Amino acid sequence: MVSKYLLILVILMAAIFIWRGNRRVAAKERQAKEQRTKVIDMQPCRWCAVHIPTTEAVQGKHGSYCSVAHLHKAEP
Ligand SMILES: [Zn+2]
């Protein structure tokens, strides 16, 4: 009788262990995906060709720039 409960306990612990391991892998994959997305989200400045994240780029009429200074140089 006791060994039956022990077996169930061991199976349960193994299941939890595997579940936690899978969650860690999923989190790591999500992190890698986010980093890839960040790399894709880079774009060059139209004036100096320096790559900047899209979220930090300064938008001009003809494209995006790394700074307001370069926007004014390219589009006076
Ligand atoms: Zn620039």
Place of tokens 């193994």: 14
> How would you write the pLDDT of the chain (76 residues) with one tens digit per residue?
678 999 999 999 999 999 998 888 889 988 888 777 655 688 999 999 999 999 999 999 999 999 999 999 999 9
What is the reported pTM? 0.48
Please tell me the predicted confidence (pLDDT) of residue 39. Answer: 58
Please tell me the predicted confidence (pLDDT) of residue 37. Answer: 65
The amino acid present at 20, given as its one-letter code, is R
Listing DSSP states for 5-27 in one string gives: HHHHHHHHHHHHHHHHHHHHHHH
Q: Which residues surround ligand 1, an ion (CB under 5 A)?
A: 45, 47-48, 66, 70
CA of 32 to the centre of ligand 1 (A): 28
Please tell me the predicted confidence (pLDDT) of residue 40. Answer: 62
Please tell me the predicted confidence (pLDDT) of residue 32. Answer: 86
